[in-house]
Amino acid sequence: MRSQELEVALRPRLTLNAAVGSYLIPDLPTADEILPYLRRIDSARWYSNFGPLVSEFEGRLQALISARDDPNPQAGRVCLTALATGHQALEIGLRLLGIEGGKRVLLPAVTFSACPLAVLQTGAQPVLADVDPRSWTLTPRIAREAASRTEIDAIMPVAAYGVPLLTPEWDDFSRDTGIPVLIDAAAAIETQGLPRRGLVAHSLHATKPFGIGEGGILAGREAEMIAKGRQYANFGMIDRITRTMGTNAKMSEYHAATGLAQMDRWTDVKRRRRQLLALYIDHAKILFGSVTLQPSIEEAIPSSLMLRLHEPIADAVLAAGKRAGIGLHRTYLPPLYRHPCFANLVVVNSAGSVLLPGADIVQKELHMTNSETLFGHLLGVPFHPFMSEADVINVVEWLRTQVAA
């Protein structure tokens, strides 16, 4: 890498602006766009507990996801419920799959903390799997290796950085092993297919492609199971009597109002995100040889863009970006076993070999080689729809000064 002095010398040539100083700016509806829906709340005076706006929002989401769904009638219908957060969609999804104290859930070591926290909330133990070096996530092959060597009761694969997972592969996995699957497709709404077995959770957090502030979706094909999820989200109640364990994870009418306004502009939101991705793919060509884009990123409606630097200098470039006013980031890094809260979890490498709690970080570094490699190499660039082509060129040109051999 170039020296710090050289980087400082290059800085005046760049015309950086506020757009590249932020790595993410949410693309949510304006107050005016939400207002007609808020007026409907005023008229109905219904604010939460499965109100008309939540029902309409669920119906429109169901139509959106069904439009891309497996046309084979044997696949079954798409059923879903809107929830307060994506994190709660994960927790409730796990409970619906029978996860509770004493069970173990395999999930990738490179993902957001919500994944292991949702497992811990059920009383079960997360088991952190090393990721596949190509797709940067937990694959059915790694899950099979892990399940053949250690007790695993459910899998939570993650559509890393919004790139959807192949559902037939996960259907084959759960058919062959009998282990249920909950796909965390937090940032892959609409693009993530719904498996024939198992469940899918989405996040509607402001930072996600379909942002509404806070919100989550739990989808599956068994209407009865989704109805149980809805019951769990409302204190386990039916007719005001608590029949099972539960929590309050309901979506309010205000969030549904934002969701409906976001649905009205979804076609434009998607177009803007895909246009920006196309600009990056085009201009980043000058970096090829020093940088690789996330495989299959063109299948996503991206809310972030990660690059794999060919040298393990991601932290150094992040720091240089800070000095140069470029908003870089390292989302989902460091790997979860490096977070103090998850340091005592069992980890499994890509060959299924288990490292028990108590292993120190040096042992984990040697064991979780793919996650560690990503830790050294992955870097996120500014990605939001308020960037112009000139902004993309500025970011790419600046990166060239950092990564060029």
Ligand X SMILES: Cc1ncc(COP(=O)(O)O)c(C=O)c1O
Return residues touching ligand X (CB under 6 A). 85-87, 111-112, 114-115, 158, 184, 186, 203, 205, 216
Cis amide linkage into residue 334, ω under 30° from 0: yes
Q: Closer CB to ligand X, residue 81 or residue 394?
A: 81
Q: Yes or no: say if 154 and 126 are a contact pair by the CB < 8 Å rule.
A: no
Q: Which two tokens stand for residue 340?
A: 């103090």
β-bridge mates for residue 158, sequence order: 184
- Give me the least distance between CB of 349 and ligand X, in Å please: 21
Q: Closer CB to ligand X, residue 210 or residue 398?
A: 210
CA distance 288 to 164: 24
Q: Closer CB to ligand X, residue 161 or residue 173?
A: 161
Q: Please, what is the angle between helix 266-283 and helix 253-264, to 10°?
A: 60
Residue nearest to ligand X (CB): 86
CA distance 106 to 127: 5
- Give me the least distance between CB of 62 and ligand X, in Å please: 19
Secondary structure of residue 287 in the 3-state scheme: helix
Q: Closer CB to ligand X, residue 146 or residue 186?
A: 186
Q: Which two tokens stand for residue 361?
A: 């970080």
Q: Closer CB to ligand X, residue 200 or residue 392?
A: 200
Q: Which two tokens stand for residue 231?
A: 């019951």
Q: Which two tokens stand for residue 97?
A: 């799959």
- Give me the least distance between CB of 302 and ligand X, in Å please: 13
* 97: amino acid identity, one letter: L
| CA-based torsion, 127, 292, 305, 200: positive or negative | negative
The 10 Å Cβ neighbour count of residue 40 is: 18
- Give me the least distance between CB of 42 and ligand X, in Å please: 27
How many residues are there in the chain?
405
Q: Closer CB to ligand X, residue 152 or residue 158?
A: 158
CA distance 260 to 251: 13
- Give me the least distance between CB of 201 and ligand X, in Å please: 7
Q: Closer CB to ligand X, residue 263 or residue 313?
A: 263
β-bridge mates for residue 268, sequence order: none
The 10 Å Cβ neighbour count of residue 172 is: 15
DSSP 8-state class, residue 234: B
- Give me the least distance between CB of 345 and ligand X, in Å please: 17
Segments in 11-133 forming alpha helices (H): 18-21, 31-44, 52-67, 86-96, 114-121
Q: Closer CB to ligand X, residue 167 or residue 401?
A: 167
- Give me the least distance between CB of 227 and ligand X, in Å please: 22
- Give me the least distance between CB of 113 and ligand X, in Å please: 8
Q: Closer CB to ligand X, residue 179 or residue 251?
A: 251
Q: Closer CB to ligand X, residue 153 or residue 184?
A: 184
- Give me the least distance between CB of 56 and ligand X, in Å please: 21
- Give me the least distance between CB of 158 and ligand X, in Å please: 5
What is the layout of strands, in order, in the sheet containing 182-184? 79-83, 216-220, 199-203, 182-184
CA distance 300 to 186: 12
The 10 Å Cβ neighbour count of residue 217 is: 26
